[in-house]
Amino acid sequence: MTKKTIADWQALAEKELKRPADSLVWNTPEGIPVKPLYTADDLAGIGHLDSLPGFSPFTRGPRATMYAGRPWTIRQYAGFSTAEESNAFYRKALLAGQQGVSVAFDLATHRGYDSDHPRVEGDVGKAGVAIDSVEDMKILFDGIPLEAISVSMTMNGAVIPILANFIVTGEEQGVSRDKLSGTIQNDILKEFMVRNTYIYPPEPSMRIIADIIEYTAKEMPKFNSISISGYHMQEAGATLVQELAFTLADGREYVRAAIAKGLNVDDFAGRLSFFFAIGMNFFMEAAKLRAARLLWTRIMQEFEPKKASSLMLRTHCQTSGVSLAEQDPYNNIVRTAFEAMSAVLGGTQSLHTNSFDEAIALPTEFSARIARNTQLILQHETGVTKVVDPLAGSYYVESLTSELAEKAWALIEEVESLGGMTKAVDDGLPKRLIEEAATRRQAAVDRAEEVIVGVNKYRLENEAPIDILQIDNSAVRISQVKRLEQTKRQRDPHAVENALTRLTEVARTGQGNLLEAAVEAARARATVGEISDAMRRVFGDHVATPEVVHDIYGKAYQGDPEMEILSGRLNDYSKVSGKPRVLVAKLGQDGHDRGAKVIASAFGDIGFDVVAGPLFQTPDEAADLAIAQKVNVVGMSSLAAGHKTLAPQLVEALKAKGADHIIVVVGGVIPRQDYDFLIEHGVSAVFGPGTNVMDAARAVLDLLEGRLKNS
């Protein structure tokens, strides 16, 4: 048989297509051209192809036997309401096959506030569990043997008091700190880029990280001192190249900080871990994890470690929250299953699978069981655990691995040219690039250039409501405040004062370890807020200046009739009443600002005059800003379930200040069951997940025109 060539294939393809075969090339958001056909020729010059799992550069996996020897850990991220309710949820999950506990804290805790603080009224017990002291932490892990169960904690801002409380909880459960296993996220650089649950400025925050790495290296040999996270970058809109590059650049910065503290690289490098998002680009996500291991080995070789384990990237993964849709939500079960399979084929060490209802509310027990069972089915029914790195040698996957590594390395080198990741964060480079990518993707979804089944194509005319988990925020706060008051009554006030004074002194002088001092304060029953404030007195608070990208969304709609019609309407309105002015507001302690930034950027390109409000405002502060800026509309962005508390308070604050002429609209992760409540409490329109930005702009203009007509 005569050997067929690429030219033969191209001729046959063009005969089938009746157009050039090159028309099938797809350019990914990362700028990688994906061809319809890959062959052995595409592997020429790729250096990692002869590697084996368990050996440097670990492209094929950090362990020699991978899942053939032991499957990945099923580690579901959860936490809500009170410590009692979260504890019951964890214990049921462990009995049902979950293999580790992963704790979600509420936003008040993340930001270092106790539940009785006036700034967190809408945040307590929402989007995570409320923890105010060791007493809460003891309840959270009651009946969960900490010597046997590893615990992952997503905590960055208030990482010192939370880890201190965990250590003391272990002690009082009879488990010494050297027996505790698990991971603390402790990744503050990405907070300044995307997630925004920071407390202190970058420099003291980096000191906190170094102190935690030092303490755990000496005292907690089974505990991972940091989980360097790209997850929140992708969720904020980063491309896979950006997620890969900025995550590894963060890791390099943390290693440097620990070495500057006087630590030997081999004393801590083996306990560093990573955390990546897994989205819907199936093969590229698997290739991303392979490229991450390859590049991390390259980075760590700079520090000349003696142990092979110091070169090894180990990672937890979570399926994408952004890929979940409110519309036709059972489709999310399928999305999560594909993403989970991609993570597994990429070689993750542990995995969280999202519940199908998480685009709407916190997961119910029903949806959480489906998410957990998705992993159990993968482990026990699909056969993927039988072979190490089953995608190895794939022309396409190996080519993608190499392409991603090359592009990510170029971006890592750009970060280095700025002086490293801390300098790059100060310069705003990562944040700017990620926000541009997010806005670009939103335009592609709105124009249906990127198809989301059930959202912008194949949409159901009528959707049946689904059951959701509702948290009574007021009841949780009352319960927390009651236990907080009891804890303060029963503790020794002098011991607390002495411990907090010592912590402040360590912060001020740099002499001693912050975590070690905080453990003493936690033993004395100092609260999360008190421990955070003891360091705030020296470090201060980080305050970000909101900035919005321009000419991304508008460029995607250039020459589009839909945009021209809307622009014409805006011009007509402006001639009569002036250019409409919109405040995009973030209330409460929710720092997730992807949606707010995309709306601010897109509305600005469409032709509105946009004021981007600062993070962490109270309703009263937002009302004052709206009045001072003479806006026509306040658009409140809510992703953390505080809308039923905060939106009515905003409406009332505007009314009390004589500004009830200002229209209030709310957008974000809002269950349809809550729409009527918000409308009844003075909100003029609600825009749920997946709302087309152009539709939202038209609706806001409708409200303005209606107000003008009736005035």
Residues designated as active site: 77, 231-232, 586, 590, 592
**Can you tell me the distance from the alpha carbon of 601 to that of 237, in angstroms, rounded to the nearest whole number?**
14
Contacts of 692 (CB under 8 A, 6+ apart): 446, 456
651, 665 Cβ separation under 8 angstroms: no
- DSSP letter for 19, please: S
316, 66 Cβ separation under 8 angstroms: no
Alpha-carbon Rg for the chain, nearest whole angstrom, is: 26
How buried is residue 575: exposed, middle or buried, by Cβ count under 10 Å (0-12/13-18/19+)?
exposed
- DSSP letter for 196, please: -
Using alpha carbons, select from 341, 360, 359 the residue that is nearest to residue 351. 341
**Can you tell me the distance from the alpha carbon of 326 to that of 338, in angstroms, rounded to the nearest whole number?**
18
Residue with tokens 């307590």: 124
Residue 12, both tokens = 């046959």
**Can you tell me the distance from the alpha carbon of 384 to that of 379, in angstroms, rounded to the nearest whole number?**
7
How far apart are the two ends of the chain, measured CA to CA in Å?
A: 83
**Can you tell me the distance from the alpha carbon of 591 to that of 190, in angstroms, rounded to the nearest whole number?**
12
Q: Angle 159-172/528-539 helices, nearest 10 degrees?
A: 140
Residue 355, both tokens = 């519940």
**Can you tell me the distance from the alpha carbon of 418 to that of 385, in angstroms, rounded to the nearest whole number?**
42
Q: How far is CA 340 from the centre of its chain?
A: 17
Q: Angle 282-301/395-417 helices, nearest 10 degrees?
A: 50
CA dihedral 325→329→330→334, nearest 10 degrees, is 0
SS3 of the chain: helix, strand, coil, percent, to 5: 55, 10, 35
Classify 635 as helix, strand or coil: strand
How buried is residue 474: exposed, middle or buried, by Cβ count under 10 Å (0-12/13-18/19+)?
middle
How buried is residue 442: exposed, middle or buried, by Cβ count under 10 Å (0-12/13-18/19+)?
buried
Would strands 26-27 and 33-34 be described as parallel, antiparallel, or unpaired?
Answer: antiparallel
Classify 633 as helix, strand or coil: strand
- DSSP letter for 179, please: G
581, 611 Cβ separation under 8 angstroms: yes
Classify 295 as helix, strand or coil: helix
CA dihedral 422→256→268→175, nearest 10 degrees, is -40
Could you tell me which residues are beta bridge partners of residue 685?
665
Classify 154 as helix, strand or coil: strand
